[in-house]
Amino acid sequence: METVLITGAGGYIGSNAAEYFAKAGYRVVGTIHRHVAERLTQLGIKTISVDLADAENLLRLFEEKIDYVVHIAARASDVGRDEWFREANYEAVKNLAAAAMEHGVKRFVYLSTADVYGLHDFSGESEDRLAFDEAVTNPYPKYKILSEKWLAANLPRERFSCVRPCVVYGRGDTSITPRTVAYLKNSPLVFHFGKWRGRNRWPLAHVENVCRTLHAAMVLPEAGGKGVTVLDSKRTTLSEYYHEIAREFLDGKRLRECSIPMWAVRPVAWLSTFFSRNRNHPLFDPTLYALDTVAHNLDFSNARMLDWFDKMGMEEFRHDGHNV
């Protein structure tokens, strides 16, 4: 039985991935930060508490044979100090990848983000046409880009791959769905910003499809050295997304929508970002990063993901709700 080391196994995506790989027949070892998800304990998954930024401390992760590393642990927020992101999302990646190579790991799978492409309008481009947005200033995509570049420069192509999910949702979501529910519950109006008026694509990626893509990226020979976008095939506009959330979580609350030009809200977003710079979560919405996310048409191709699913004998997971 091959062993998969999954970092961030106590978190939302990590716990789903740990359960997925355990059910797929792998022995799973997971690193945790604060707590162990109950379902990991029920599955008998071994967990280790470790500081991934401490290079020397990482060696104990490889005291037993590890065949694959799936690196999910990261600081994921649209606010926070640059140095926090550098340590968690760049230095830790380098340390872990170097240790994995030294200990003969077959492939290092890095969970990146589709935000490496930037936050502007897209029209179905594939990974071969997409490029890193070198102008990003937010530390979250900034250090994801730098980590991907470091992996490409320092690891053999056949021994790493990068998975770039869009907006992840699904069972156990502790991020985007609760934040949206709170917004819709407390706001008298649903605001859309800029020219799209809510008709822009909201790029959803169900956590099950993220897990399946991580699996494909780990074992397919052609995945070596490649990046792959994870995106559900169903095209959902931002307005449709808000209405789906209202139906599922707010007893079908009737939403009233209105559109505001970007210039009118950008000063508010700047203030939110400025006063949240030393926080883990925004003081209020929208931040500049969140504003650019909801105001653009984030419409990518998922052809590579679907091709990899086909090669793995998998089908895309089709969702009926946001909490399944």
The encoded tokens of residue 126 equal 């594939």
Judgement on whether residues 154 and 265 belong to the same structural domain of the protein: no
Task: Specify the CATH number for the domain of residue 63.
Answer: 3.40.50.720
Judgement on whether residues 101 and 124 belong to the same structural domain of the protein: yes
The backbone torsions φ and ψ at residue 5, rounded to the nearest 5 degrees and listed phi first, read -95, 120
Average pLDDT over residues 93-113: 97
Q: Give the residue, 283 or 108, on which the prediction is more confident.
A: 108
* Average pLDDT over the chain, rounded to an integer: 93
Judgement on whether residues 8 and 42 belong to the same structural domain of the protein: yes
Give tens-digit pLDDT for 214-231: 999 999 999 999 999 999
Which candidate, 191, 230, 186, 184, places its Cα nearest to that of 208? 230
Q: Is the predicted pLDDT of residue 322 greater than 70, yes or no?
A: no
Give tens-digit pLDDT for 4-32: 999 999 889 999 999 999 999 999 999 98
Q: Is the predicted pLDDT of residue 310 greater than 90, yes or no?
A: yes
| The model's pTM | 0.95
State the pLDDT confidence band at 41, using cuts at 50, 70 and 90: confident
Q: Give the residue, 32 or 69, on which the prediction is more confident.
A: 69
Which candidate, 133, 243, 238, 125, places its Cα nearest to that of 184? 243
Q: Is the predicted pLDDT of residue 320 greater than 70, yes or no?
A: no
Judgement on whether residues 67 and 190 belong to the same structural domain of the protein: no
317 within a domain of the structure (yes/no): no
DSSP calls for 110-170: EE--GGGG-SS---SB-TTT----TT--SHHHHHHHHHHHHHHHHS-GGGEEEEEE-EEES
27 within a domain of the structure (yes/no): yes
Give tens-digit pLDDT for 116-128: 999 999 999 999 9
Give the whole-number percent of the chain exceeding pLDDT 90. 84
pLDDT at 216: 98
322 within a domain of the structure (yes/no): no
Average pLDDT over residues 269-281: 94
272 within a domain of the structure (yes/no): yes
Identify the domain containing residue 181 by its residue range: 176-199+236-294
187 within a domain of the structure (yes/no): yes
Judgement on whether residues 81 and 164 belong to the same structural domain of the protein: yes
Rounded-to-integer distance, Cα 297 and Cα 283, Å: 26
Judgement on whether residues 26 and 152 belong to the same structural domain of the protein: yes
101 within a domain of the structure (yes/no): yes
Q: How many CB atoms lie within 10 A of CB 105?
A: 23
pLDDT at 35: 64
State the pLDDT confidence band at 323, using cuts at 50, 70 and 90: low
Judgement on whether residues 28 and 147 belong to the same structural domain of the protein: yes
318 within a domain of the structure (yes/no): no
Judgement on whether residues 119 and 222 belong to the same structural domain of the protein: yes
AA letter at 21: F
Judgement on whether residues 192 and 52 belong to the same structural domain of the protein: no
User: For the chain, what is the domain count?
Assistant: 2
Q: Is the predicted pLDDT of residue 174 greater than 60, yes or no?
A: yes
321 within a domain of the structure (yes/no): no
List CB contacts of 217: < 8 A, sequence separation 6 or more. 107, 109, 161, 162, 163, 223, 226, 228, 308
Judgement on whether residues 94 and 132 belong to the same structural domain of the protein: yes
Please report how the helices 12-23 and 207-219 are oriented relative to each other, as an axis angle in degrees rounded to 10: 60
List CB contacts of 186: < 8 A, sequence separation 6 or more. none
Q: Is the predicted pLDDT of residue 78 greater than 60, yes or no?
A: yes
Judgement on whether residues 11 and 148 belong to the same structural domain of the protein: yes
Judgement on whether residues 146 and 225 belong to the same structural domain of the protein: yes
pLDDT at 52: 86
The encoded tokens of residue 25 equal 């027949």
